Structure 1
Amino acid sequence: MSITDKKQAILDTALRLFVAQGFHATTTAAIARQAGVATGTLFHHFPSKDALMQHLFLSIKQEFADAIIASAQPSGELKQDAKHLWFSALDWAIDNPLKQAFFQQYSMSPTVEQAVRMQAMNTILGFIGDLIEQGQTLGVIAPYPVALMQDNCHGQFLAATRYFIDNPDTWQQASHKEASFNLFWQAMASPR
């Protein structure tokens, strides 16, 4: 197994164990054992379990952001573009249930340092803040602090994905998909 393969095996195993057992109940020894690597190999790549968690968190956030950006089809109409991004984000969550479960557990967890969450929100998902600012400039998004709006978007995304994961048959129903976007948009829209 190459160094890259070993690192990926550690990350894949950590993801499964963190979701199944929780962060605190998962030991680095268990991760290494189930990944088929020596504990020293794990610590070669990640100096601590916290560093492993942070790397996993940021790499999954980056994968999520890359998938959404790759699906972007700018129309020039902010609401339509937001709708497309919303559905792309939900599609990613439905297609990646283990990674989404990880987000559900750890996105707001004190286990992930605030600085790491801020890096994810402002750097990796910075395009969302840009869209909010664009919408505020156009007067279609409420003029609230961008950081608060980003956290609100994140909370709504987690709520919607939780609903669709718990009720998978509803994801195929246009009325439910549309309702999820309408709830999201109404929370963001400028009061008129």
Structure 2
Amino acid sequence: MREKILEATAAMLVEHGTQASMSKIAKQAGVATGSLYNHFENKDVLIRAVYEEIGAIVERALVAGDDPSQPARVRLKAYIDRQIDFVWYNPNHADLYEYLSNAPLLPRGEVLDSFNRTSDFIAGLLHQLQDEGWVITGDVGVIAGFIGGGVRNTLKWQRSLGVTLTDEMRDLVHRLCLHGVRPGHQQESEAA
């Protein structure tokens, strides 16, 4: 029942923001409003639980498949592939993640805490790649945001146009992400 409530809350938050009442959430979940309060004492607790849940989903999607025995550049490429898969094949979760991170319903620190394991993972990987000279220097949070935002935004619009994810599109998105973070391209843009 808890999962049902969290799914219903996620859908209602994306659709109505914080205006989604507990009774509307209960109706969406197909449970009595009293049952909702048996699991979550109030809407703030429920919203926090949704953040925790999407944080865990994002971590499983983007980090769980990592193979630390591989070179860092191979791990980054695999991370980008997992980003593509997450956004394309899990549109509801991708939309919820985007909504909750772009229109935070909690204080910014709490929002960041929900996604810190994924953020720490990609930050560590990007720092390693910077040390190896494989990724441009700069704030790894900005670089990670560029990769994730680029994948999410691009694929969201392609899906809305009714486009099918082909191997060619996947490869293009992948190459664009890498092109944007590789050092040689930084020097080219600085020279312009």
Q: TM-score, normalised by structure 1?
A: 0.81
Counterpart amino acid of 2:24?
A
Question: Does structure 1 residue 186 correspond to structure 2 residue 179?
Answer: yes
Q: TM-score, normalised by structure 2?
A: 0.81
Question: Structure 2: where are the runs of 5+ without partners?
Answer: 188-192
Runs of 4+ aligned residues of structure 1 deviating over 4 Å after TM superposition are none
Question: Does structure 1 residue 118 correspond to structure 2 residue 97?
Answer: no
What is the DSSP-based 3-state SS (H/G/I as helix, E as strand, rest coil) of the residue aligned with 2:137? coil
Shift of 1:75: 6.7
Measured in 2, the distance between the counterparts of 1:90 and 1:116 equals 26
- Compared with structure 1, are the counterparts of its residues 155 and 67 closer, same or farther at alpha carbon in structure 2 (3 Å cutoff)? closer
Shift of 1:176: 1.6
CA RMSD of aligned residues (A): 2.4
Measured in 2, the distance between the counterparts of 1:165 and 1:117 equals 27
Shift of 1:15: 1.9
- Compared with structure 1, are the counterparts of its residues 145 and 125 closer, same or farther at alpha carbon in structure 2 (3 Å cutoff)? closer
Shift of 1:139: 1.0
Counterpart amino acid of 1:88?
R
Question: Does structure 1 residue 24 correspond to structure 2 residue 18?
Answer: yes
Shift of 1:65: 1.6
Over the matched positions of the two proteins, sequence identity in percent amounts to: 22
Contact 2:8–2:25 (CA<8 Å) still a contact in 1?
A: yes
Question: Does structure 1 residue 135 correspond to structure 2 residue 129?
Answer: yes
Q: 1:3: which partner in 2? A: none
Q: 1:57 is matched with which residue: 37, 46, 51?
A: 51
Shift of 1:136: 0.9
Measured in 2, the distance between the counterparts of 1:51 and 1:152 equals 31
Measured in 2, the distance between the counterparts of 1:124 and 1:143 equals 20
What is the DSSP-based 3-state SS (H/G/I as helix, E as strand, rest coil) of the residue aligned with 1:24? helix
1:160-180 Cα shifts (integer Å, max 9, x gaps): 3313422453412x2321221
Measured in 2, the distance between the counterparts of 1:150 and 1:135 equals 12
Contact 1:10–1:32 (CA<8 Å) still a contact in 2?
A: yes
Shift of 1:88: 1.7
Counterpart amino acid of 1:158?
R
Measured in 2, the distance between the counterparts of 1:165 and 1:128 equals 26
Contact 2:8–2:29 (CA<8 Å) still a contact in 1?
A: yes
Shift of 1:73: 4.5
Contact 1:121–1:150 (CA<8 Å) still a contact in 2?
A: no
Contact 1:64–1:89 (CA<8 Å) still a contact in 2?
A: no
Moved more, 70-79 or 110-119: 70-79
Counterpart amino acid of 1:157?
V
Q: 1:148: which partner in 2? A: 142
Measured in 2, the distance between the counterparts of 1:51 and 1:76 equals 40
Paired positions, count? 185
What is the DSSP-based 3-state SS (H/G/I as helix, E as strand, rest coil) of the residue aligned with 2:163? helix
Shift of 1:74: 5.4
Measured in 2, the distance between the counterparts of 1:77 and 1:84 equals 11
Counterpart amino acid of 2:174?
F
Q: 2:81: which partner in 1? A: 87
